[in-house]
């Protein structure tokens, strides 16, 4: 269920420190080490899944849970009204660099009308 060489598995297991904002039985959420906007949080399942392409039917509840954790964090961090994005990179063209599923929660500054 976890990969000994995976940095996000190590963060989820507290073997590597992070600025933790949320933890429950399914996920951890912590500040991105290189924030691209004032609020930049990573929501990460405790189970090792390589990315969106590694998801199966058994992960449907997990993904719904991640969306609701993102909603709660956005409210707690004060960006629910100003607006926010939840973004997932999948594969090389999308720029995925860590191959453990994670949702970026981005907010706290206008991000413009363009997606890329």
Smallest separation (angstroms) from ligand 5GP to the CB of 58: 22
Q: Which residue is nearest to ligand 5GP (CB)?
A: 33
102 is catalytic: yes
- Determine, following the binding rule CB under 6 A, whether residue 116 of this chain makes contact with ligand 5GP: no
The DSSP line for 7-59 is HHHHHHTTSS---EEEE-SSEEEEE-SS-SSSEEEEEEESS---SGGG--GGG
Question: What letters, b where the CB count within 10 A reaches 16 and e where it falls short, cover 31-60?
Answer: ebeeeebebbbbbbbbbbbbbbeebeeebe
Among residues 3, 24, 53, 76, which is the contact residue for Zn ion, using CB under 5 A?
Answer: 3
- Determine, following the binding rule CB under 6 A, whether residue 13 of this chain makes contact with ligand 5GP: no
Among residues 95, 110, 112, 113, which is the contact residue for ligand 5GP, using CB under 6 A?
Answer: 95
Q: What stretches of 64-102 adopt beta strand conformation (E)?
A: 84-87
Smallest separation (angstroms) from ligand 5GP to the CB of 92: 10
Just list the catalytic residues. 102
Binding residues for ligand 5GP, per CB under 6 A?
7, 18, 30-34, 42, 89, 95-98
């Amino acid at each position: 269920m976890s990969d000994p060489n995976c940095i996000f598995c190590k963060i989820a297991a507290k073997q590597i420190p992070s600025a933790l904002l949320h933890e429950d039985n399914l996920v951890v959420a912590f500040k991105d080490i290189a924030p691209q906007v004032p609020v930049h949080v990573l929501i990460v399942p405790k189970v090792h899944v390589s990315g969106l392409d590694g998801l199966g039917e058994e992960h449907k509840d997990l993904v719904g849970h991640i969306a609701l954790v993102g909603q709660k964090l956005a409210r707690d961090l004060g960006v629910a009204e100003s607006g926010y994005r939840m973004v997932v990179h999948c594969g090389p063209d999308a720029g995925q660099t860590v191959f453990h599923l994670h949702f970026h929660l981005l907010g706290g500054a206008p991000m413009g009308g363009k997606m890329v």
